[in-house]
Chain A
Amino acid sequence: GNSVTQMEGPVTLSEEAFLTINCTYTATGYPSLFWYVQYPGEGLQLLLKATKADDKGSNKGFEATYRKETTSFHLEKGSVQVSDSAVYFCALSDYRDDKIIFGKGTRLHILP
C-alpha cells in the first residue's frame, strides 16, 4: 500500500540556517504530494503541493520538488526563521480516493 517516510525529529537549527527535511514515499500509482505544517495549538495547514513528476511546490520560502526517480519530496528552505518552528508532515494522496496518507511528522525548533 501507499506510505510516507520522513526523517525523525526533532530538528534544531539556528535562525538563518539552511533546512532540509527528507521525505520519501511508496505508491502504486501517481500520487499528489504535499507538505503540511502544524503550528503550536493550531490545525494542519497545507504548506505546498506538487501533483506530477518534476513539479516544484513553493510557499513562504519553502520548496519541494516531486522526484519520481527517487520517490522523494524533500522540503527545503534557504534561511529559516524562529516563526518556522512547527511540526511538518509530508503526505500523499492517490487520485483514486480522497484519502491522504501522512508521514509521522518532523518537529522543527529554530533558535534565535
Chain B
Amino acid sequence: GAVVSQHPSRVICKSGTSVKIECRSLDFQATTMFWYRQFPKQSLMLMATSNEGSKATYEQGVEKDKFLINHASLTLSTLTVTSAHPEDSSFYICSATPASGGRWEQFFGPGTRLTVL
C-alpha cells in the first residue's frame, strides 16, 4: 500500500525557534498534500492544502506566515513552524493524495509531536 512518512516523529524546541517537519510519499507521487493539526481528544483540523509547485491554500484562521508550507516535489512537502510558541505544541499530521487516485483518497503519515518549551 501507499506509504507516507514524516520526520521527525518528535521534536522539542525552545520558544522563538523555528521547526521544520517533512512529509514524504515513499512509493507514489502525490499531487496534493494536506497538513492537519490534532489536539488531545480532538479531531484532526485541516490547516492547509498544498499542490506541487504552487502556493498552499490555508484554512480560515491559520496564519500562513507562521506555518510555512513548501511542496517542492511530487514526493515531498514541508511544514515550518516559525517562531514557535508553547501554544503551537500539538500533533501535526500530513497526508498525500496519489496522482492516480480519487480526490478523497488520502494516505496519512504517522504524525509529528511538537513540544515548544
Contacts and interface: CB of A to CB of B under 8 A. Distances in A.
Nearest to B97: A98
Contacts, number: 47
B2 to A, nearest CB: 10
A89 B44 CA distance: 9
A61 interface: no
Contact of B4 (A4, A43, A49): A43
* Interface class of chain B by DSSP: strand
Interface string B33-45: 0100000011110
B104 A100 contact: yes
Interface stretch (B13-21, B61-69, B76-84, B106-114): B106-114
Interface string A49-93: 100000000000000000000000000000000000000010001
A17 B36 CA distance: 33
Contact of A41 (B103, B109, B110): B110
Nearest to B51: A98
A45 B108 contact: yes
B93 A98 contact: no
B30 to A, nearest CB: 12
A27 interface: no
Interface of A: 4, 32, 34, 36, 41-46, 49, 89, 93, 95, 97-100, 102-105
